[in-house]
Chain A
Amino acid sequence: MHPQRKRRLTIILVLVAGLGVAVALVTYAFRQNINLFYDPSQIAAGEAPVDVRIRAGGMVEEGSVERDPDSLDVAFRVTDFDQSVTVRYTGILPDLFAEGQGVVAMGRVNEDGVLVADQVLAKHDEEYMPPEVADSLKQSKSGDASM
């Protein structure tokens, strides 16, 4: 083969091999690290997979936040005004976390249908709401008043 063609072929093969590795890596990483969003109704209906990391969101139910006096454990209920689900979390809640506010929690649903969260996110300002939460509240009609 012509040396220049040979070199070009080598470069192309290296690029293709590199691309293949990259695609494989991306696919693998995707399979491990994608978190689907479920609203409280879906979780209550048992649609969310058990022990798989998911995102869940809704409003923090008024009067549902319970803090353990001796540790940083906290439990609260998240609602879409149709169904609600209990979330358990250990650690510091974000500044904007409050009853009656929208939150998104990342974690795993256990066998009792409780979401054990490893991360809780609250909305960033008064007007803004995570799009998923807004959508899921829109779907359950009674949420209108508080939007």
Chain B
Amino acid sequence: MVPEFGHFALILALALAVLLSSVPLAGALTGRSALQGFARPLATGQFVFIAIAFMALTRAFLLDDFSVAYVANNSNSLLPWYYKFSAVWGGHEGSLLLWILVLSGWTLAVAIFSRRLPADLLAQVLSVMGMVNVGFLLFILLTSNPFERLLPNVPADGTDLNPLLQDVGLIIHPPMLYMGYVGFSVAFAFAIAALMRGRLDSAWARWTRPWTTVAWCFLSLGIALGSWWAYYELGWGGWWFWDPVENASFLPWLAGTALMHSLAVTEKRGVFKSWTVLLAILTFSLSLLGTFLVRSGVLTSVHAFASDPTRGQFILALLGITIVASLTLYGFRAPAVHTRVRYGALSREVFLLMNNVLLMAAMLVVLVGTLYPLVLDYLGGGTLSVGEPYFNLTFSPLAVAVALMLGAGVFSRWKRTDGGWLGRQLLWPAAVSLLIAVIVPLWLGGFEPWAFVGCFAASWVLVATVRDIWGKSASRHGRMHGLRRLTRSYYGMVFGHLGMAVVMAGATVVSNYGVERDVRMTPGDQARIGDLTFRFESIGDREGPNYTAQQGVFEVREEGRLVTTLYPEKRIYNVQRSVMTEAGIDAGLFRDLFVALGEPVNGASAWAVRIQHKPLVRWLWLGAIFMAFGGGLAISDKRYRLRRRERKETDRQNASGVGEPAAEGGPG
């Protein structure tokens, strides 16, 4: 009964979404505030019914209700409860339900936290989000019903969750990623609402900014989690493969990063308005494109669940409608919001414009590499794949250019920056970075051109940021007072940029100085990487809850001293009989030691073993945490909190369109 109840709740949610997408909008267009007032209750109702559906499916998983086809295909009674829970989004239908839950959650959040918005704007924003929800609810109800029953032949047990997905990283990776992906729908809804009203003022940017930042934080963490999971579970120590599915999440991240920066310019200076709106549309379109790539089955990947082509066509249609409709609206309305504000050729505005240009170029390079094989295949031009070297060759120079621009940009001032002054500010960062870029590679094992460039770029960002803090925290009342005076949004920017420096340093060092060796070992054998000796002690059997494993024991010594003992495993999962490699990893801030068992060779007496030394690999994910932390700081800034306290007052005024004066040293 409960699954049918969940299905019914989804249908009710669809009905509410249809109302949400039409009634408040009609109210806003005709100026009837009674109709606008429906926006919030409808958004709440929609969320409640989707949450009920989600709970109904979760219940079916936790209680092993294998009469539900989706549960039977993605779970098993032996699965630990937390994997039964995460299996809810382990397949196509459930992950789509999660998508919708997150979307309606964001809609509800906008309804709750935007009380100071003009009522008609809020009505329009919620209506646009309602439209997106209608699309996805139709999608799930028409093509991917998670509550379909297997009656009357109920299977005795489920066919289990794909063992690759039975992992802690995978419990939180999809929700994080979706929070990011779907979060950009808020910026999109604000952009569309602003276009409908023909009013793109700095207030619009101010309202959109915190939402975009939050979505960006989640997406950063989601991507980092995916990379981390690939590193220890799937990739034999690789952390980024330029796999189309990874690119699918990276594209909106690049566009979203550009959007955050261009929103800053629009808020502070009232320029780039049309561009910012276009970027908001583009970012969400890329989120939809990502969903299409991942969910339609056009790609070869873990994420591509075996699926029928109608699903792909449906998402493609949604994507098409979104792009065409929003660009048409943009075409009609964008020229109407033209403004003229002056700024010099060497100003923060121009540096942020360069940031946007470079990020867009990076996005296009990745987009071309991702879509070209698909388009060519569709046109009958043959099957081909674009290799990792393409992405490394095209993306890396752009990333370095972004970093160089960033280092100079943090010092720049709005309107106009004095060239001589800027040059003097950059002298120290340039000198120190050059020194670091020469010393670090030599110390790590030899000069490499790319290591030099990458280290320079990373330390350039780091030193420039620190130099900027030093300059901005100067105060008559002492350094501490100066540091305390700086705003949270400034520290948010600092952490975001430091995060980028940390990621760049990690990526540079691990790809240039990481050592990977595949060796054939029998128990008792040793293999060396530099000063480290990996000794294969023994191998034995171990029983897990739903698998049996062969567990190896490796002792790692440095000049005779025991560094760590690693226990890599080869698991066979009972239900699907599939083999999984569980790497043994000794994680450290400065290096990871990594051992993975390949397969037995020569009749099980010997094993193929991969041993790796990965310097600074943790920095990749640490940097993402820095970035998300920075975003968190930025949105907890005083000006957002103050405003909540002043809400009642502004509610009365129903103020709109008055940009607040630029806070000193605000984020850029």
Contacts and interface: CB of A to CB of B under 8 A. Distances in A.
A7 B353 CA distance: 14
Interface stretch (A32-40, A80-88, A109-117, A137-145): A32-40
A25 B397 CA distance: 10
Interface in B324-372: 342, 345, 350, 353, 357-358, 361, 364-365, 368, 372
Interface in B380-423: 382-390, 393-394, 397-398
A99 B372 CA distance: 32
Contacts of A30: 372, 386, 390
A22 interface: yes
A95 B578 CA distance: 8
B551 to A, nearest CB: 16
Contact of A126 (B384, B576, B596, B598): B576
A106 to B, nearest CB: 8
Contacts of B383: 36-37, 55, 131-132, 135
B644 interface: no
Contact of B608 (A15, A26, A91, A132): A91
Contacts of B581: 95
Contact of A37 (B236, B365, B372, B385): B385
Given A33-B387, A35-B385, A70 B520 contact: yes
Interface string A64-101: 00010111100000000000000000111101100000
A29 to B, nearest CB: 4
A131 B236 CA distance: 24
Interface residues of A, number: 45
B519 to A, nearest CB: 8
B342 to A, nearest CB: 8
B386 A26 contact: no
Most chain B Cβ neighbours within 10 Å, of A29, A67, A90, A106 = A29
Given A18-B357, A92-B598, A124-B302, A10 B345 contact: yes
Contacts of B350: 11
B306 A127 contact: yes
Interface residues of B, number: 49
Contact of A7 (B305, B306, B345, B368): B345
Contact of B162 (A22, A53, A125): A125
Contacts of B393: 25, 28-29, 32-33
Interface string B592-604: 0000101101100
Contact of A55 (B301, B304, B385, B608): B385
Per DSSP, are chain A's interface residues mostly helix, strand or loop, or mixed? mixed
A47 to B, nearest CB: 12
Nearest to A22: B361
Contacts of B520: 70-72
A84 B164 CA distance: 31
B368 A35 contact: no
A92 B357 contact: no
Contact of B518 (A35, A70, A91, A132): A91
A49 interface: no
A130 to B, nearest CB: 5
Interface in A4-28: 4, 7, 10-11, 15, 18-19, 22, 25-26, 28
Given A34-B384, A124-B164, A26 B365 contact: yes
B595 to A, nearest CB: 12
Contacts of A4: 342
Contacts of A25: 365, 393-394, 397
A96 B357 contact: no
10 contacts: A11-B345, A11-B350, A25-B394, A33-B386, A34-B384, A37-B382, A72-B520, A92-B598, A96-B578, A135-B383
User: Which 8 pairs between the two chains have the least Cβ-Cβ distance?
Assistant: A92-B598, A33-B390, A37-B383, A33-B387, A69-B602, A29-B393, A127-B306, A95-B579
